[in-house]
Amino acid sequence: MTTIKDVAKRAGVHPTVVSRVLNKDQTLKIKDSTRERILETVKELNYFPNRSAQNLKRNETKMLGMVIPDFANPVYSEIIHGAEDQAAKEGYNLMVYSMKQKGTEHNKFSHLIEGRTDGLLIAISESEDQEIVELQESKKPFLLINRMIPGINHYVVLDDEFAGKLATDHLIQLGHRKIAHITGPFDTGTGKTRFNGYKQAMHSNELEILNDYVQESSYSIESGYSAMKKLLALKEPPTAVFAGSILAALGAMRAAYEAGRTIPNDFSLVSIHDVPFADALQPPLTTIKMPLYEMGQEAVKNLVQLIKKDTQSTHLTINGAELIKRNSTAELLSEK
């Protein structure tokens, strides 16, 4: 294997000169002819710099870590895609970790702090705040995705409140008044803000929010199924349901099918998050498309700035929620 010393010997210069030319050191004062000779020698000898060794010298790994709750959740694939594409543009590789597979050790991030990555993207909501605080103490650059914690200024989130309002407004515009909401966990930022959007739409249209119509879920098929069964068992079930996640919506659809109810004849259903299979469901599901890919991109951009110490803090809210109308929502023709 050709080394930098081989290139230097053939070009008649010191190895440090070769290194500075390859790294485009603008402070290096040499003749243009010498620079050209070095570059031609590099091509002739088919020399490739040892990036791993260079990164080691700079105390870099050129690796970013991304922590998600579970690979089974389809929502995270688009975030990962955006983060991966942007990492490549920035000259980094991306490693994705699932907390479900990492066990329940005292600090879930401890194995990521010890030099394997230059920075971390944290896209989980169930982790205790104290674990994030411990990350600050480690001095490892990190950024929260879709989550905010008081006192931490490194995050990229979506406008979930607007998304919740957009979903609820859509149902109201179709004539629905008895609108239920299968929420996310109320101890998460997304669960609370999407619920706030639902409340905002209901209150601005002077519609009553019944306690029984608000069912908390854990963003899973099972919890969406359980919540929908409770709604269908009410003496006056809702005519429309806003599900706070695509998985909760899938559970709600299963519960409706088992109960012999049809969508949208018996009730309309809209969900946060658009996924590739939403159009293939029966009926095709009306969704709120969120800019997940863009969130992944922006998260990496801002994390790289933190790694390079180009900024002390970064906090960004990404707009762009969009209603995707399909057959699971319909105009209310008569009070049910």
Same-domain check for residues 204 and 145: no
Q: Are both 268 and 193 inside the same structural domain?
A: yes
To the nearest whole number, what is the mean pLDDT of the chain?
Answer: 88
DSSP notation for 41-108: HHHHTT----HHHHHHHTT---EEEEEES-TT-THHHHHHHHHHHHHHHTT-EEEEEETTTS---SST
Concatenate the DSSP letters of all residues of 164-194 into one string. HHHHHHHHHHTT--SEEEEE--TTSHHHHHH
- Determine, yes or no, domain membership for 173: yes
- Same domain for 167 and 281: yes
- The pLDDT of residue 104: 46
Residue 91 and residue 149 share a domain: yes
Are residues 169 and 286 part of one domain? yes
Is 329 a member of any domain?
A: no
Instruction: Dump pLDDT digits (tens) for 120-151.
Output: 999 986 545 667 767 777 778 999 999 888 77
- What is the rounded radius of gyration, in angstroms, for the C-alpha atoms of the chain? 26
Do 154 and 166 share a domain, yes or no?
A: no
* The most confident of 19-23, 60-64, 73-77, by mean pLDDT: 73-77
In this structure, is residue 45 part of a structural domain? yes
The verdict on residue 327 lying in a domain is no
Q: Which domain holds residue 16?
A: 4-49
Report the percent of the chain where pLDDT is more than 70.
88
Task: Classify strands 268-272 and 286-289 as parallel, antiparallel or unpaired.
Answer: parallel
| Same domain, yes or no: 174 and 280 | yes
Q: Give mean pLDDT, residues 260-264.
A: 96
Residue 164 has pLDDT above 90, yes or no: yes
**Residues 22-69: pLDDT tens digits?**
877 778 888 899 999 999 999 888 887 765 455 545 556 789 999 998
Residues 164 and 105 in one domain: no
Inside any domain, residue 54: no
CA distances 131 to 128, 173, 298, Å, are 6, 43, 23
Please give the Cα distance from 250 to 37 (Å, whole number): 64
CATH code of the domain containing 38: 1.10.260.40
Selection from 249, 281, 263, 235 nearest residue 330 by Cα? 263
Same-domain check for residues 35 and 150: no
| Average confidence (pLDDT) over 5-19 | 89
The answer to whether position 58 is within a domain reads: no
Are residues 154 and 296 both part of a single domain?
yes
The predicted pLDDT at position 56 comes to 45
Q: How many domains, in total, are found in the chain?
A: 3
Contact 289, 324 (CB under 8 A): yes
pLDDT band at residue 106 under the 50/70/90 scheme? very low
Residue 285 domain flag = yes
| Whole-number percent of the chain with pLDDT over 90 | 63
Q: Give the C-alpha separation, 58 to 290, whole Å.
A: 38
98 with 167, same domain: the answer is no
179 and 279 inside one domain? yes
Residue 331 belongs to some domain of the structure: no
CATH number of the domain to which 90 belongs: 3.40.50.2300
pLDDT of residue 20: 86
